[in-house]
Amino acid sequence: MTKASNPMTLRQPAIFRVFLFACLVLSGCGRPTPQGTLPARLVVDFSGGHVTLRGALPQAGARDRVLERARQQYGPGNVLDRIEISDKVIEAPWVSTDALLLAVVESGISDGQAVFDGQRLQLTGQVPTETIRAQISTRAARAAGSNIAVDSHLQVSH
């Protein structure tokens, strides 16, 4: 029997092409990689005039902006960058809203934290006066808008 007359030889390439096509479609090959699935997170630790920024953001631009402002406010030697950039992190409204990030970085919180986590901002720590506490809470709530919940647990230091 010649190769051309063998029915199995003629069908193998077609079966192989169908199998290959099915594997590619089922595996997602050829589709763009989905965006990240983890919420953006940024923790700003304020302690003794030093600021540590840590967490994960989807864009280097947001990290660079908040680092620049923190260095201007607290001095380059007083800011520690522990922020990671990851394509596994999804965009969050506060990431692209400099007003919210910068309002917190410039706030005047001492010995406390600002935690941006997905759709939420939590403020904890000490502030020197009741007026500053109210200003920080108001500025954060205004900058956050209606899409981000702000929980302020700031206390006036005595």
Q: Considering only the C-alpha atoms of the chain, give the largest distance between any 2 of them, rounded to a whole number of Å.
A: 99
Condensed to tens digits (0 to 9), the pLDDT of residues 51-87 reads 899 999 888 887 888 788 788 878 899 999 999 999 8
pLDDT value for 109 = 76
In the chain, the percentage of residues whose pLDDT exceeds 70 is 68
Nearest-angstrom CA–CA distance, 50 and 60: 22
Instruction: Average the pLDDT over 19-41 and give the result.
Output: 52
pLDDT value for 32 = 42
Q: Per-residue pLDDT for 96 more than 80?
A: no
The residue that leads in pLDDT, 109 or 45, is: 45
Architecture category of domain 41-156 in CATH: 3-Layer(aba) Sandwich (3.40)
Domain boundaries, the chain: 1-31, 41-156
Nearest-angstrom CA–CA distance, 46 and 110: 5
- CB within 8 A of 112, min separation 6: which ones? 46, 123, 124, 125, 126, 154
Question: Range with the lowest mean pLDDT among 22-26, 45-49, 53-57, 89-93?
Answer: 22-26
Top mean pLDDT of 1-10, 90-99, 106-115 is at 106-115
Answer for the pair 108, 79: CB distance below 8 angstroms, yes or no.
Answer: no
Question: Range with the lowest mean pLDDT among 14-23, 29-38, 95-104?
Answer: 14-23
Nearest-angstrom CA–CA distance, 127 and 153: 11
The alpha carbon dihedral of 136, 134, 115, 142 has a sign of negative
Give the pair of three-digit tokens for residue 138.
């108001």
pLDDT value for 101 = 61
Instruction: Average the pLDDT over 90-109 and give the result.
Output: 66
Q: What angle do the packed helices 60-74 and 98-105 form, to 10 degrees?
A: 30
Q: Per-residue pLDDT for 44 more than 80?
A: yes
